């Protein structure tokens, strides 16, 4: 360790660890603390190279969880262990500057007066790497995010997406064992976000540590994360792979994120499903007892009058919202079976759909899926 290295921090040497971190055990954490009226109790485990996506409504405890992992918030109880080392156990707490953590936020927070290479080199320099070694590492990291040709540019000369990639390179230049990404793409416009998401996925695939990604964007989570953890009111409500969560959401919030109408209900052997609001659904795949029932928004058809023919589910509902999305519209419906329908713009025009209008919604029984709660 050389002069200028924070006490207890590992010294980095030039390009050490560039191709991944060897000998890692991953993350084992149980975050228990209070923030205002919210009691947070979140368990996170991940192996080396794994990306964990943390999702949830505002105020649910996502950012508090990240701050506890970084050491900014102390635990009331629980633990944070990374690669077998105890960072916090509720009694002993490693300060933030001694944790091998990389952090990337929605605001890239680049130093405006420094060139891209110097922004990235700042991390290794703060950990004791000499100027030449830090510069070599910074240039290598910029190359890995596709910005080798912009190394001499200052932040004002970079696009928002390029600034985000510089921030990622800076976060990884210190060989963190734990990479924390808190809404890293939130400040980007849709086109830039899509390109930067692809660049981020490529870079994370070569990173050997654990990544914890906090996001509100389902596409970010579904495309970047190996496993999803949903946090609501300080508690984990569901965890699983993206495929598992898409297939069987288990809370109203999760249903919204994955784009399904979701109901807590009870089913019988005859294919009748009664929701907690008193609505009745008919399905061709009956599950008895306490169930979750799902209906894809695209399976909902809207009519001015009660439909005839094949649909076995039809309800008289009222339109509460109409939201245009490209060449389609999402229509929020209220009544005995609250629904979101996804219809074409032609349907919106033909039916004259407006907020406050009464319509009939129909769903084929084959489109209603149930599974045990």
* DSSP string covering 362-373: EE-GGG-EEEE-
Residues 207, 200 contacting (CB under 8 angstroms): no
Confidence (pTM): 0.81
Residues 313, 363 contacting (CB under 8 angstroms): yes
Q: Are residues 96 and 176 in the same domain?
A: yes
Q: What three-state secondary structure class fits 272?
A: strand
Q: Are residues 213 and 83 in the same domain?
A: yes
Q: Are residues 199 and 319 in the same domain?
A: no
Provide the domain limits for residue 367. Answer: 260-372
What is the CATH number for 73? 3.40.50.300
Q: Are residues 176 and 242 in the same domain?
A: yes
Domain limit, last residue, from 186, 212, 247: 247
Q: Are residues 154 and 215 in the same domain?
A: yes
Q: Are residues 266 and 328 in the same domain?
A: yes
Q: Does any domain span residue 180?
A: yes
Q: What's the CA gap between 217 and 242, in Å, rounded?
A: 13
Q: What's the CA gap between 145 and 162, in Å, rounded?
A: 9
Residue 135's H or E segment, with its range, is helix 131-144
Q: Which two tokens stand for residue 332?
A: 């929020």
Residues 153, 113 contacting (CB under 8 angstroms): no
Looking at residue 225, what is its pLDDT? 95
Q: Does any domain span residue 172?
A: yes
Q: What's the CA gap between 150 and 156, in Å, rounded?
A: 12
Q: Does any domain span residue 168?
A: yes
Q: Does any domain span residue 14?
A: no
Q: Does any domain span residue 8?
A: no
Q: At residue 363, does pLDDT exceed 80? A: yes
Q: At residue 13, does pLDDT exceed 60? A: no
- Give 333-362 pLDDT, tens digit per residue: 999 999 999 999 999 999 999 999 999 999
Number of domains in the chain: 2
Looking at residue 310, what is its pLDDT? 67
Cα dist. 357→319, 339, 353 in Å?
5, 14, 7
Q: Does any domain span residue 165?
A: yes
Q: Does any domain span residue 306?
A: yes
Q: What's the CA gap between 198 and 219, in Å, rounded?
A: 11
> Long-range contact list for 236-245, CB < 8 A, 24+ apart?
236/41, 236/42, 236/43
Domain limit, last residue, from 218, 247, 276: 247
Instruction: Report the share of the chain in percent with pLDDT over 70.
Output: 93
Looking at residue 24, what is its pLDDT? 59
Q: Does any domain span residue 111?
A: yes
DSSP for 45-68, please give it: EE-TT-EEEEE--TTSSHHHHHHH
- Give 212-262 pLDDT, tens digit per residue: 999 988 889 989 999 999 999 999 999 999 999 988 999 989 998 888 999
Looking at residue 294, what is its pLDDT? 95
- Give 50-79 pLDDT, tens digit per residue: 999 999 998 899 999 999 999 999 999 999
Domain limit, last residue, from 247, 275, 297: 247
Q: Are residues 270 and 321 in the same domain?
A: yes
Strands of the chain (E only): list them. 27-35, 38-46, 51-55, 77-82, 85-88, 101-105, 178-182, 210-214, 227-232, 235-240, 261-267, 272-275, 280-282, 289-295, 301-303, 313-325, 328-334, 339-344, 358-363, 369-372
Looking at residue 108, what is its pLDDT? 86
Q: At residue 14, does pLDDT exceed 60? A: no
Q: Are residues 243 and 211 in the same domain?
A: yes
Q: Are residues 225 and 299 in the same domain?
A: no
Could you tell me which residues are beta bridge partners of residue 344?
Answer: 328
The sheet that has 358-363: what strands, in order across it? 301-303, 358-363, 313-325, 328-334, 339-344
Q: At residue 144, does pLDDT exceed 60? A: yes
The residue-averaged pLDDT of 186-207 equals 88
Q: Are residues 336 and 288 in the same domain?
A: yes
What is the number of other CB atoms lying within 10 angstroms of the CB of residue 133?
19
Q: Are residues 273 and 160 in the same domain?
A: no
Q: Are residues 367 and 237 in the same domain?
A: no
Residues 211, 204 contacting (CB under 8 angstroms): yes
- Give 113-127 pLDDT, tens digit per residue: 999 999 999 989 988
Q: What's the CA gap between 66 and 31, in Å, rounded?
A: 9
What is the CATH number for 362? 2.40.50.100
């Amino acid at each position: 360790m050389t002069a200028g290295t924070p006490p207890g921090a590992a010294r980095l040497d030039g390009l050490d660890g560039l191709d991944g971190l060897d000998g890692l055990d991953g993350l084992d954490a149980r975050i228990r603390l209070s923030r205002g009226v919210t009691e947070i109790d979140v368990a996170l485990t991940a192996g080396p190279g794994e990306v964990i996506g943390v999702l949830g409504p505002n105020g649910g405890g996502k950012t508090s969880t990240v701050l506890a992992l970084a050491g900014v918030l102390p635990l009331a109880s629980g633990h944070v262990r990374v690669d077998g080392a105890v960072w916090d156990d509720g009694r002993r707490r490693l300060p933030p500057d001694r944790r091998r953590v990389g952090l990337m936020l929605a605001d890239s927070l680049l130093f405006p007066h420094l060139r891209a290479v110097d922004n990235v080199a700042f991390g290794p320099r703060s950990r004791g790497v000499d100027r030449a070694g830090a510069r070599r590492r910074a240039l290598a990291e910029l190359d890995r995010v596709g910005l080798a040709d912009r190394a001499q540019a200052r932040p004002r000369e970079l696009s928002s997406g390029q600034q985000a990639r510089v921030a990622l390179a800076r976060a990884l230049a210190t060989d963190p064992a734990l990479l924390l990404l808190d809404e890293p793409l939130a400040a980007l416009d849709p086109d830039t976000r899509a390109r930067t998401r692809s660049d981020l996925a490529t870079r994370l695939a070569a990173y050997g540590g654990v990544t914890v990604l906090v996001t509100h964007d389902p596409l970010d989570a579904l495309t970047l994360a190996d496993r999803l953890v949903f946090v609501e009111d300080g508690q984990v409500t569901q965890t699983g792979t993206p495929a598992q969560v898409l297939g069987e959401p288990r809370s109203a919030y999760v249903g919204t994120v994955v784009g399904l109408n979701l109901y807590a209900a009870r089913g019988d052997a005859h294919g009748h499903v009664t929701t907690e609001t008193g609505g009745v659904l008919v399905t061709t795949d009956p599950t008895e007892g306490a169930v979750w029932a799902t209906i894809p928004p695209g399976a909902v058809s809207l009519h001015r009058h009660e439909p005839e023919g094949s649909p076995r589910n039809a309800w008289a509902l009222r339109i509460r919202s109409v939201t245009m999305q490209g060449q389609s519209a999402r229509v929020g419906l209220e009544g005995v079976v609250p629904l979101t329908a996804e219809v074409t713009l032609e349907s919106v025009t033909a039916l004259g759909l407006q907020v406050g209008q009464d319509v009939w919604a129909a769903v084929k029984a084959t489109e209603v899926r149930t599974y045990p709660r």
